[in-house]
A and B are shown apart, each in its own frame.
Chain A
Amino acid sequence: MRLRTPRGRHALALFGAAVLVLVGPPLLTTGDGGDTGTQIPGLRFMVPNTPGGGYDITARTAAKNAEDAGLTHNIEVFNLPGAGGTVGLSRLVGEHGNGRLAMSMGLGVVGAVRSNDAPKTLADTTPIARLTEEQDVVVVAKDSPYRTIDDLIGAWKERPGKLPVGGGSAPGGPDHLAPMLMARAAGIAPRDVNYIPFDGGGELLASILGDKVAFGVSGVGEYLDQIRAGELRLLAVTGPERVTGLDAPTLQEAGYDVNFTNWRGIVAPPGLTDAERAKLTRLIEKLHDSPEWRQSLKQNGWDDAFLTGEKFGEFLEAQDERVVSVLKELGL
Chain B
Amino acid sequence: MDALTSLLDGFGTALTPVNILWAAVGVLLGTAIGVLPGIGPAMAVALLLPVTYGLDPIGAFIMFAGIYYGAMFGGSTTSILLNTPGESAAVVAAMEGNPMARSGRGAQALAAAAIGHFAGGMVGTVLLVALAPTVAELAVGIGAPDYFAIMVLAFIAVTSVLGSSRVRGLASLLIGLTIGLVGLDQMTGQQRLTFGSLQLADGVDVVIVAVGLFAIGEALWVAAHLRRGPGEPIPVGRPWLGRSDLRRTWKSWLRGPFIGFPFGAIPAGGAEIPTFLSYVTEKRLSKHRDEWGKGAIEGVAGPESAASASAAGTLVSMLTLGLPTTAVAAVMLAAFQQYGIQPGPLLFEHEPDLVWGLIASLFVGMVLLLALNLPLAPLWAKLLRIPRPYLYAGIMFFAAVGAYAVGGEVIDLVILLVIGLIGLGMRRYGLPVLPAVIGVILGPGAEQQLRRALQISDGSVTGLVNTPFAVTVYAVIVVLLAWPLLKRLAARARTARSV
User: Bound complex: CA of A83 vs CA of B407, how far in Å?
Assistant: 13
Give per-residue flags for A152-169: 1 if the beta carbon is below 8 A from chain B beta carbons, else 0.
000000000110100000
**Interface hits, A184-222 → B, CB 8 Å:** 194, 196-197, 199-200, 202-203, 205-207, 209-210, 212-213
A86 to chain B, nearest CB (A): 6
Give per-residue flags for B381-410: 1 if the beta carbon is below 8 A from chain A beta carbons, else 0.
000000000000000000000000011110
User: Of A74-82, A126-134, A268-276, A309-317, which stretch is located at the interface?
Assistant: A74-82
Q: A171 and B327: CB pair below 8 A?
A: no
Q: Is A231 an interface residue (CB 8 A)?
A: yes
User: Bound complex: CA of A116 vs CA of B452, how far in Å?
Assistant: 22
User: Bound complex: CA of A164 vs CA of B344, how far in Å?
Assistant: 25
Given A164-B458, A212-B144, A52 and B327 contact (CB-CB distance below 8 Å)? yes
Q: B338 and A225: CB pair below 8 A?
A: no
Given A170-B189, A194-B458, A209-B140, A57 and B202 contact (CB-CB distance below 8 Å)? no
Among candidates B198, B267, B345, B347, residue contacting A206 with C-beta atoms closer than 8 Å = B267
Given A116-B184, A116-B198, A51 and B408 contact (CB-CB distance below 8 Å)? no
Residues on A with beta carbons closer than 8 Å to the beta carbon of B344: 225-226, 229
B132 to chain A, nearest CB (A): 15
Q: B201 and A87: CB pair below 8 A?
A: yes
**Interface hits, B311-356 → A, CB 8 Å:** 317, 321-325, 327, 329-334, 337-338, 340, 342-347
In the complex, residue of chain A having the shortest beta-carbon distance to the beta carbon of B267: A206
Given A60-B338, A170-B186, A212-B143, A228 and B42 contact (CB-CB distance below 8 Å)? no
Q: Is B46 an interface residue (CB 8 A)?
A: yes
Q: B334 and A60: CB pair below 8 A?
A: yes
Q: B452 and A196: CB pair below 8 A?
A: yes
User: Bound complex: CA of A60 vs CA of B45, how far in Å?
Assistant: 13
Residues on B with beta carbons closer than 8 Å to the beta carbon of A210: 140-143
Q: A51 and B43: CB pair below 8 A?
A: yes
Residues on A with beta carbons closer than 8 Å to the beta carbon of B45: 51
Q: Is A50 an interface residue (CB 8 A)?
A: yes
Q: Is A56 an interface residue (CB 8 A)?
A: yes
**Interface hits, B158-207 → A, CB 8 Å:** 184, 186-189, 191, 198-199, 201-202
Q: Is A108 an interface residue (CB 8 A)?
A: no
Among candidates B338, B345, B456, residue contacting A231 with C-beta atoms closer than 8 Å = B345
User: Bound complex: CA of A300 vs CA of B338, how far in Å?
Assistant: 8
Q: B139 and A300: CB pair below 8 A?
A: no
Q: Is B53 an interface residue (CB 8 A)?
A: yes
Q: A-B contact count, CB below 8 Å?
A: 148
Q: Is A246 an interface residue (CB 8 A)?
A: no
In the complex, residue of chain B having the shortest beta-carbon distance to the beta carbon of A82: B202
B315 to chain A, nearest CB (A): 13
Among candidates A162, A202, A212, A224, residue contacting B342 with C-beta atoms closer than 8 Å = A224
Q: A86 and B198: CB pair below 8 A?
A: yes
Give per-residue flags for A104-142: 1 if the beta carbon is below 8 A from chain B beta carbons, else 0.
000000000001101100000000000000000000000
Residues on B with beta carbons closer than 8 Å to the beta carbon of A57: 334, 337
A171 to chain B, nearest CB (A): 4
Q: B267 and A203: CB pair below 8 A?
A: yes
Q: A164 and B345: CB pair below 8 A?
A: no
Residues on A with beta carbons closer than 8 Å to the beta carbon of B342: 224-225
Residues on A with beta carbons closer than 8 Å to the beta carbon of B334: 51-52, 56-57, 60
Residues on A with beta carbons closer than 8 Å to the beta carbon of B338: 60-61, 64
**Interface hits, B238-261 → A, CB 8 Å:** none
Given A205-B321, A229-B345, A90 and B198 contact (CB-CB distance below 8 Å)? yes
Q: B345 and A197: CB pair below 8 A?
A: no
Q: Is B268 an interface residue (CB 8 A)?
A: yes
User: Bound complex: CA of A119 vs CA of B201, how far in Å?
Assistant: 13
User: Bound complex: CA of A197 vs CA of B186, how far in Å?
Assistant: 8
Q: A80 and B407: CB pair below 8 A?
A: yes
Q: A164 and B455: CB pair below 8 A?
A: yes
A209 to chain B, nearest CB (A): 4
User: Bound complex: CA of A68 vs CA of B139, how far in Å?
Assistant: 39
Q: Is B50 an interface residue (CB 8 A)?
A: yes
Q: A202 and B140: CB pair below 8 A?
A: no
Residues on B with beta carbons closer than 8 Å to the beta carbon of A86: 198, 201
User: Bound complex: CA of A299 vs CA of B343, how far in Å?
Assistant: 12
Q: List 22 interface pairs A-B (beta carbons < 8 Å), by A numbering.
A: A50-B42, A51-B45, A51-B327, A51-B331, A52-B327, A52-B329, A52-B334, A56-B331, A60-B46, A64-B50, A64-B53, A86-B198, A90-B198, A170-B184, A171-B189, A197-B186, A202-B330, A213-B456, A224-B342, A226-B321, A226-B344, A229-B346
Please give the residue numbers on chain A whose beta carbons come within 8 Å of chain B beta carbons, in ascending order.
Answer: 50-53, 56-57, 60-61, 64, 79-84, 86-87, 90-91, 115-116, 118-119, 161-162, 164, 170-172, 194, 196-197, 199-200, 202-203, 205-207, 209-210, 212-213, 224-226, 228-229, 231, 295, 299-300, 332
Given A200-B324, A206-B321, A225-B322, 20 new contacts (CB under 8 A): A51-B42, A51-B43, A51-B46, A51-B334, A52-B333, A52-B334, A57-B337, A60-B46, A60-B334, A80-B407, A83-B198, A84-B201, A86-B201, A171-B188, A194-B458, A210-B142, A213-B456, A225-B342, A225-B344, A295-B340
Q: Top 5 A-B pairs ranked by shortest CB distance?
A: A52-B330, A83-B201, A225-B344, A51-B46, A206-B267
